[in-house]
């Protein structure tokens, strides 16, 4: 899983076609797109880089906003691990070199069908990243997305997650 794509409930098939078409247009003829058992959630495996996909979809939204109708968010996943505390903390620690010594971060958890408590995830991840935590003015987001038994972990900037609605609103101003 390289990307998590969200859409409105019951529009998963349309979103799958939309994302497949966009990825084909920008250079991936055979992406693996899976409609998960969670309403409104798809996972994507692509040969393209996360940043290229987000950048190209943003460009498409600016040029032809009407062509993207079903996709709501595109979230890059830099690591996919088993959904347990050690694996999640290890994945976050491995990516934490992106965060400079004077920068701050926040931890955001999106849980779907997971018994691990958010507080436990936050504690374990924060123990492994030595930078300061800031919930209001942060430089980085440690994003943990649980989808059943698998877990996506990404350390990224806010603008690396594509919100289609926000981008469309921004281009209209």
Please report, for the chain, the start and end positions of each structural domain, with discontinuous segments joined by +. Answer: 3-76, 79-156
pTM (2 d.p.): 0.90
Instruction: Look at the domain 3-76 and name its fold.
Output: Alpha-Beta Plaits (3.30.70)
The reported pLDDT for the residue numbered 172 is 55
Extended beta strands in 57-157, E state: 71-76, 79-82, 104-110, 132-133, 140-147, 150-156
Which tokens sit at 17?
Answer: 């076609």
The pair of structure tokens assigned to 124 is 């374990």
164 vs 48: CA distance, rounded Å = 19
pLDDT in tens, 79-116: 999 999 999 999 999 999 999 999 999 999 999 988 99
Share of the chain above pLDDT 70, in %: 98
Q: What is the mean pLDDT of residues 111-136?
A: 94
Say if 3-76 and 79-156 have the same CATH topology.
no
Q: Give the pLDDT confidence of 147-170 residue by residue, as tens digits.
A: 989 999 999 999 999 999 888 777
pLDDT of residue 173 exceeding 70: no
Long-range contacts from 116-124, C-beta under 8 angstroms, 24+ separation: 116/83, 116/84, 116/85, 116/88, 116/146, 120/85, 121/85, 121/88, 124/85, 124/86, 124/88, 124/89
CATH class of the domain at 79-156:
alpha beta
């Amino acid at each position: 899983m390289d990307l998590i794509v969200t859409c409105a409930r019951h529009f998963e098939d349309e979103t799958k076609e939309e994302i497949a078409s966009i990825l084909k247009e920008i250079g991936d003829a055979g992406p693996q797109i899976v409609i998960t058992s969670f309403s409104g959630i798809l996972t994507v495996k692509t040969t393209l880089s996360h940043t290229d996909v987000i950048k190209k979809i943003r460009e498409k939204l600016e040029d032809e906003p009407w062509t993207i109708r079903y996709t709501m968010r595109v979230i890059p996943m830099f690591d996919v691990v088993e959904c347990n505390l050690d694996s999640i903390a290890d994945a976050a620690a491995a990516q934490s070199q992106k965060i400079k010594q004077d920068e701050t971060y926040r931890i955001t958890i999106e849980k779907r069908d997971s018994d691990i408590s958010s507080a436990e995830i936050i504690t374990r991840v924060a123990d492994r990243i030595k930078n300061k935590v800031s919930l209001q003015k942060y430089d980085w987001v440690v994003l943990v997305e649980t989808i059943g038994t698998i877990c996506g972990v990404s350390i990224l900037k806010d603008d690396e997650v594509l919100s289609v609605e926000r981008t469309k609103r921004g281009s209209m101003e």
